[in-house]
Chain A
């Protein structure tokens, strides 16, 4: 079989959790809230998803539980930043540190246990097509749902009325407030959506990619998702393209092994992190790119005394 096909397929699988996490965070940031807690929510999602699927045998329940657990965590973030108006950067960091600790604590007894990988679906007639079938029609359901999520988020942000409100709040909460839009409610919903997506992204790691629970298994993917949002200049299309590029970078190890390149594995493992830095430099080099695209109120608390 052509070695390129499994490489592309593994790239898609590697990119999928990044798509979920980054698209979720895009909606959060477009509403003007910066949640740096993705890494923590992903880990909670990973351990909850794993534990649920281990107990019930159902991957669907696993993903659902993962989303719910991460939403619970995001509500904590929402309460602190939106109600109590704590510093969003500090609170996001706290969420990540808390998530790392809590997931390691909860997952202590699950380390090393096996769980059935979510199997790719077969579409009668289509999966059987040589090459194309393997390239396009032989993934697990979550891969297809991530595409649907992309279409949904893109439509929501650009075409829907609620999406317009959300973007308005992200640009200027005081103006949106003055015309009667509820800043608090919109931001809460956005934060919860971001939480659910981060939870699903985490469960994808522990139910599809690995599939098992390992302490700290997200290994910076939550942070890479955050970088992807900047890389994609807060636009879903670019973010998804970026996620696939990054998925490719993380799978470079396979490419290198395939071609017998004598590079130590540690250096290959560095690639996604180094690529994140390089990509950020390229995007941020021109301050105008950020100024024009970043939601104007990103990271600022809004206090309505009315």
Chain B
């Protein structure tokens, strides 16, 4: 008989192995799913996971989609570590895109060298401003940030929709809900020729390094980690909970806002009704898969980006809806949560007990 037993100390091996186990679980489920749908699983796997990245252009696309996922994932991971449940990175991304796009439209046909830096700055500030709302409401009015950040996603998307249907609509755009295209001075330059990947990925990777230094080497990062792992200890040490909440939300607002402006100043090149196919939500999974660790998040973002590419390929090559991406993403997170059990527990073989011992029942209540 197998029994779950709590480990004396959490297993560090399992904490790295569990995302891999989750990925394997997802692949097995995907295999079965393709089989059930009447597709040849081997061919489907090739089309989904290998073919999209078999060309230079494909690698470029992978890095292109990795950029927003990585940026949002980094910010979210820092927050989740401190028990700040910001799930509205999608909204902060949208606001970043709006703010950066607004600056681009203001510059118009100007060739100014300030255009792009100011756009990026505006994007960062836009995301931060949007994240400041839940931070203020949580610290001042004790309002749950999960619900507030999520509601703000819907509001930001409606603001964007209003702008591209109304004041910012391109007069020459044949009534399409989109703004004027940005000029060269308002577009990020291409990193690898022959692809669409921009310098955004370099910024994102640089920020991953910065985030690693912040969380591992600074006192502020340490305070946030303690607040997440042992809130009581953090309070006893006098670490301000409010400061942690503000830092967590401001950082995520900044990175998500940057992600948004990198999208509109990069592959999209204008403001339009849809900026992101749910990068901000997928980044939640990226953060968990990456173990809330900046370096792990890089790998998580690459994997998630591959799932997006695979979904697109499945739609074109197999006639499957691209929503299969969302399905795989959800599965991955479920498997990860289940596999994480083995970080704190282990399976132990126990012999069936014959004698009824008069041991008092042991109870334990663990905080989630």
By a beta-carbon cutoff of 8 Å, the part of chain A in contact with chain B is 36, 40, 76, 80, 84-91, 93-95, 97-102, 104-105, 108, 173-174, 177-178, 215, 219-220, 223, 226-227, 230, 264, 266-267, 269-270, 273-274, 276-277, 280-281, 284-285, 287, 290, 297, 299-306
Contacts and interface: CB of A to CB of B under 8 A. Distances in A.
A84 to B, nearest CB: 5
16 contacts: A80-B337, A89-B146, A94-B337, A97-B326, A98-B330, A98-B334, A101-B325, A104-B327, A178-B363, A227-B151, A266-B161, A270-B159, A277-B152, A299-B368, A302-B366, A303-B365
Interface in B284-335: 284-285, 288, 321, 323-331, 333-334
Closest 6 CB pairs of A and B: A101-B326, A98-B330, A306-B361, A104-B323, A108-B321, A266-B162
A287 B367 CA distance: 20
B155 A274 contact: yes
Given A80-B337, A85-B341, A226-B147, A281 B323 contact: no
Contacts of B288: 90
B166 A36 contact: no
Contacts of B146: 36, 89
Given A93-B87, A280-B143, A305-B363, A220 B151 contact: yes
Residue among B288, B331, B338 with max Cβ neighbours from chain A (10 Å): B338
Given A220-B151, A227-B147, A105 B362 contact: no
Nearest to A79: B338
B341 A84 contact: yes
Contacts of A266: 158-159, 161-162, 165
Contact of A284 (B144, B154, B363): B144
Interface of B: 85, 87, 137, 141-144, 146-148, 150-152, 154-155, 158-159, 161-162, 165-166, 281, 284-285, 288, 321, 323-331, 333-334, 337-338, 340-341, 361-368
Contacts of A269: 158
Nearest to A34: B368
B81 to A, nearest CB: 13
A108 to B, nearest CB: 4
Contacts of A287: 142
Contacts of A281: 137, 141, 143
Nearest to A99: B330
A15 to B, nearest CB: 18
A264 B363 contact: no
A104 B147 contact: no
A100 B161 CA distance: 22
Contacts of A223: 147, 150-151
B144 A230 contact: yes
A285 B142 contact: yes
A284 B87 CA distance: 19
A100 B362 CA distance: 40
B330 A102 contact: yes
B122 to A, nearest CB: 22
Nearest to A290: B142
B284 A93 contact: yes
A88 B323 CA distance: 25
Contact of B155 (A40, A84, A273): A273
A178 B360 CA distance: 11
B227 to A, nearest CB: 16
A116 to B, nearest CB: 25
Contact of A91 (B148, B165, B323, B337): B337
A273 B363 contact: no
Nearest to B360: A306
A105 B147 contact: no
A267 B161 CA distance: 10
Given A284-B143, A305-B364, A102 B333 contact: no
A285 B136 CA distance: 12
A285 B138 CA distance: 9
Given A230-B144, A280-B143, A300 B366 contact: yes
A277 B366 CA distance: 31
Given A87-B337, A90-B337, A220-B154, A174 B141 contact: no
Contacts of A99: 330
Contacts of A86: 337-338, 340-341
A301 to B, nearest CB: 5
B285 A220 contact: no
Nearest to B160: A266
Contacts of B85: 89
B151 A277 contact: yes
A303 B151 contact: no
Contacts of A80: 334, 337-338
Given A273-B151, A301-B368, 10 more contacts: A40-B330, A86-B341, A97-B284, A98-B329, A98-B331, A104-B327, A223-B150, A299-B368, A303-B366, A305-B363
Nearest to B342: A84
A87 B364 CA distance: 16
Contacts of A270: 154-155, 158-159
Given A108-B323, A273-B155, A101 B328 contact: yes
A80 B341 CA distance: 9
B341 A276 contact: no
- In this complex, the member of B146, B340, B368 whose beta carbon has the largest number of chain A beta carbons within 10 angstroms is B368
A277 B152 CA distance: 9
Contacts of B143: 277, 280-281, 284-285
